[in-house]
Structure 1
Amino acid sequence: MDLAAARAALPGITRAALGELISIRPMREGKMKQSPDETRTVLVDLPARVDIWPDLVQMGGGREKPTVSLAQGEHATASIVRRAGDWEPRQGDHVLRGAAKGAGLFRITRTGEDGDGRMMLYLSAAAS
């Protein structure tokens, strides 16, 4: 396997070894609070790599790279693979972690790119 192929395979291998399954509940803004968005289905059992306080931990020596400053209240990220036919998560949607990883509920504060076919979700704690 050449280096380019190894780098391309690494996110999937990492997600399989260290990842978890999450669900994303679509939400819509209301006058006073958010409510479930009935026009989009809940995405269940999405393989993801969730990192709590990602700026505090770096795996391996790696190359130096500038870090993205997290907005106030953001303390977690989730990297997911885009799947054909699914809607894309957006700001305000809720991410639910499984019980094995603490069963946390998070709100997506913004989204970003995370390489080929993946997207990054920036998360803050959400009230249930």
Structure 2
Amino acid sequence: MTEINIPEVVAEVEKAFARYERALVSNDIAELDALFWNSPHTLRYGVTENLYGYDEIAAFRGRRPAINLARNLLKTVITTYGRDFATANAEFKRIGATKTGRQSQVWLRTEAGWRCVAAHVSLLQEP
């Protein structure tokens, strides 16, 4: 049976997730690119875009406007499954925004370290 939330593995993924968050809000494109798995199998569904493969994701990052990136994480749940697979899910609110966002990521341990292999970002519609 797969072990869930091995403490040292959770700590590793928390560290990778924190690197991603710092890179995201500071628009550190090189770091963001480094944290995604360089594979045609990687995907990212955004609020307004569907990106298939590392190259499409990197191209999107390169042309995304670097405005209104600051945000507060409201809740983050990281779950690890064994030693090489994890999910990270977060609720966030951009500074000055009214809508709450959601971010889901799938992380995989690779030879280069933890890499995001799939991601999804969406905004909750206001009631």
Tell me, yes or no, whether TM beats 0.5. no
Structure label with greater radius of gyration: 1
Q: Which has the higher helix share?
A: 2
User: TM-score, with normalisation over the residues of structure 2?
Assistant: 0.28
User: TM-score, with normalisation over the residues of structure 1?
Assistant: 0.28
